[in-house]
């Protein structure tokens, strides 16, 4: 109680802190279990709140997954946004390695972002916008590696970046699925990056 005898007002957690806590809980469920198990009830149980608290912040399970996808894309963007002061080839190589490292460290988040019919596929959604921003980083990496003039054999820089993404995503997807045909996926991935660098140049 205060000096006047009145009860001190209860401190409320800021709205953004509540949302962040719920997202943290959702991410814990996602990382520990399969995507199908990320439900409003599971997240509410993880966060020790009533399910309505999740609905109040995200509106629906779809809204929750969209927010999770945005967060995962931001983490991926941060992973591949390598120091621009580095040598372009070193930077390109480190970004490709960081992409694989992120996918292997967070397979469920990777599946959420790039699985068929996921939030990123919804044109105009916040996740789609973040996905495009991450792709712009890849375009910049490709342009830095070979220069725009050297990319004239492609329709545009985006097409060249799409080919790079197709290659590294395909390699990562095969590795995550355990269906690769080589015994050393790490070395194989390094050789793929070498091949991409030579091909682009």
User: Max Cα separation, the chain?
Assistant: 79
* Shared-domain flag, residues 88 and 180: yes
Whether 91 has a pLDDT exceeding 90, the answer reads yes
For residue range 132-144, what is the model confidence (pLDDT) as tens digits? Answer: 888 888 899 998 8
In a domain, 34, yes or no: yes
In a domain, 64, yes or no: no
* Shared-domain flag, residues 99 and 183: yes
Q: What is the CATH number of the domain that holds 54?
A: 1.10.10
**Domains contained in the chain, number:** 2
Q: What is the DSSP string of 122-152?
A: STTSHHHHHHHHHHHHHHHHHHHHH-SGGGT
Query: What's the mean pLDDT in 118-146?
Result: 80
Q: What is the CA radius of gyration of the chain?
A: 21
* Shared-domain flag, residues 14 and 98: no
In a domain, 44, yes or no: yes
Query: What's the mean pLDDT in 128-135?
Result: 81
* Shared-domain flag, residues 9 and 44: yes
Neighbours of 197 (CB within 10 A): 17
The pLDDT assigned to 123 comes to 65
Q: Which of 131, 33, 117 is nearest to 80 (CA)?
A: 131
Instruction: Give me the domain span that covers residue 39.
Output: 1-59
Which of 59, 85, 102 is the last residue in one of the domains? 59
- For the whole model, what pTM was predicted? 0.82
Q: What is the CATH number of the domain that holds 145?
A: 1.10.357.10
Whether 25 has a pLDDT exceeding 80, the answer reads yes
State the average pLDDT for the chain: 85
Distance between terminal CA atoms of the chain? 72
The pLDDT assigned to 149 comes to 66
In a domain, 188, yes or no: yes
Chain position carrying tokens 């809980």: 25
The pLDDT assigned to 50 comes to 92
């Amino acid at each position: 109680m205060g000096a006047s005898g009145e009860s001190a007002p209860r401190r409320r957690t800021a709205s953004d802190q509540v949302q962040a806590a719920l997202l943290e809980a959702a991410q814990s469920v996602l990382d520990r279990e399969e995507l199908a198990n990320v439900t409003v009830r599971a997240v509410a149980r993880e966060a020790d709140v009533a399910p309505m608290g999740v609905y109040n912040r995200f509106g629906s399970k779809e809204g929750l997954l969209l927010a999770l996808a945005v967060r995962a894309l931001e983490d991926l963007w941060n992973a591949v946004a390598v120091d621009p002061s580095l040598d372009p080839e070193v930077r390109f190589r480190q970004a490709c390695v960081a992409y694989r490292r992120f996918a292997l460290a967070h397979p469920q988040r990777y599946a959420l972002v790039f699985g068929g019919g996921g939030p990123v596929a919804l044109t105009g959604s916040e996740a789609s916008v973040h996905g495009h921003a991450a792709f712009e980083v890849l375009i910049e990496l490709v342009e830095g590696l070979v220069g725009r003039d050297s990319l004239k054999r492609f329709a545009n820089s985006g097409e060249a970046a799409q080919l790079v993404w197709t290659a590294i995503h395909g390699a990562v997807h095969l590795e995550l699925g355990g269906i690769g045909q080589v015994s050393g996926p790490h070395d194989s991935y390094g050789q793929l990056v070498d091949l991409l660098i030579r091909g682009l140049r």
